[in-house]
Structure 1
Amino acid sequence: MAKTSSRDRMNNEINAGSMADIAFLLLIFFLVTTTIVEDKGILVKLPIWSEEEPDITKLKERNVFAVLVNAQNQLLVRGEPMRVEELKDFAKEFIANPTNRPDLSEKPTKAIISLKNDRGTEYGTYLSVYNELKAAYNELWNELAQKKYGRDYSEDMPYAYRKAIREEIPMVLSEAEPTAFGEE
């Protein structure tokens, strides 16, 4: 029988010294190459924070387009029940007031849309109401852009044109604090 030396025996260890380096490099690679998806929501311009008491001025009722959504997802516009599908056209007529009716806004720069929800309002209903109100402004802006500049109102329109249109028809959407569940 031949004698075996320690040198002839198989070594059961694996050299793992470079494994940590490889794992670290892979981690850095994936961190650098991965893009983080941003959640998109409703873009709302908030007022500047102030410690002073707000100036409470009495608005003319004719210039306020009050929209209430209750806990049963029913819509009340200026005291009258309305379907969400009718909201956009009624809001457009209120803002523009093409026939100078005394019960609609004096002019687009004075029109204020007041949106108030109940805490029990479903999020989908809130979004559909908000989208209809925003769509009313988008259509008015588009109509004015066609009339003044002969083109659609869009992001590729020059900034000066968009600014001029928004000065003529500013989007004033006031959202009140939601009421407690089932109050309205």
Structure 2
Amino acid sequence: MAKTKTRDRMNNEINAGSMADIAFLLLIFFLVTTTIAEDKGILVRLPPWSDEDPDITKLKERNVYSVLVNANNQLLVREEPMRIAQLRENAKEFIANPRKLPNMAESPKNAIISLKNDRGTNYETYLAVYNELKGAYDELWDELAQKRYGEPYSDDMPFAQRKAIKGEIPMVLSEAEPTNFGEEN
């Protein structure tokens, strides 16, 4: 009979039978408790799909505020060159038309902002232009809220008040299909 050495008798194995269970439980725990940040992007509600062609005859040219951005990131607003820094104030004046000029919108309810880009336009320029146009509406809503209710326009306002303000100054921003690179000058 052979002698067994103490080295042979000692078993250095680790029982790994439950390791897979523990790893699975940890995986489930982290999947359940982790929040995944979502990119929001530009929050725009698209109009419902329609197979009918739009009736363009109803639009008066004076109510359309056309903004063209070319491949060189230059603006052409109502057929005149403009810098992005001037866009917000100019758009506010067009929408509100406080002096009742004949070449501006008849009323804020009739004002339409048309935005058209070139495919070569930088995304930063597009966002800057979009932010300025949205900012014009935000400022107009804020001014009307201050005048009517004595408080700034915000999500904390009662829904009925926000609806009344947006009913008086609706945001109508139309984005046209981009032109091919360099087509718009």
TM range (shorter): over 0.9
TM-fit CA distance, 1:53 = 1.9
Answering whether residue 55 of structure 2 is matched by residue 53 of structure 1, we say: no
Query: Which amino acid is 2:140 matched to?
Result: L
How far, CA to CA, are the matches of 1:78 and 1:3 in structure 2? 102
Q: State the match for 1:31 in structure 2.
A: 31
How far, CA to CA, are the matches of 1:100 and 1:8 in structure 2? 101
Moved more, 57-66 or 9-18: 9-18
Q: State the match for 2:174 in structure 1.
A: 174
- Among all aligned residue pairs of Structure 1 and Structure 2, give the percentage whose two residues are the same amino acid: 75
TM-fit CA distance, 1:8 = 5.7
TM-score calculated relative to the size of structure 1? 0.95
Q: State the match for 2:156 in structure 1.
A: 156
Over the residues paired in the alignment, what is the CA RMSD in angstroms?
1.5
Query: Which amino acid is 1:66 matched to?
Result: S
Query: Which amino acid is 1:97 matched to?
Result: N
Query: Which amino acid is 2:175 matched to?
Result: E
SS class of match (1:17): coil
Q: State the match for 2:113 in structure 1.
A: 113
TM-fit CA distance, 1:67 = 0.1
TM-fit CA distance, 1:12 = 3.7
Cα deviation code 1:41-80 (max 9, x no counterpart): 1111101123x22232221110000000000000000000
How far, CA to CA, are the matches of 1:36 and 1:9 in structure 2? 51
Structure 1 stretches lacking a partner, 5+ long: none
Answering whether residue 132 of structure 2 is matched by residue 132 of structure 1, we say: yes
How far, CA to CA, are the matches of 2:130 and 2:4 in structure 1? 85
How far, CA to CA, are the matches of 1:168 and 1:155 in structure 2? 17
How far, CA to CA, are the matches of 2:96 and 2:63 in structure 1? 11
How far, CA to CA, are the matches of 2:48 and 2:170 in structure 1? 18
Q: State the match for 1:89 in structure 2.
A: 89
TM-fit CA distance, 1:3 = 2.3
Cα deviation code 1:16-48 (max 9, x no counterpart): 101111101110110111001110111111011
How far, CA to CA, are the matches of 2:8 and 2:42 in structure 1? 72
Structure 2 stretches lacking a partner, 5+ long: none
TM-fit CA distance, 1:7 = 9.8
TM-score calculated relative to the size of structure 2? 0.94
Q: Which runs of structure 1 show a deviation greater than 4 angstroms over 4 or more consecutive aligned residues?
A: 5-8
Query: Which amino acid is 1:98 matched to?
Result: P
Query: Which amino acid is 2:86 matched to?
Result: E
SS class of match (1:109): coil
Q: State the match for 1:43 in structure 2.
A: 43
Answering whether residue 22 of structure 2 is matched by residue 22 of structure 1, we say: yes
Residue correspondences, number: 182
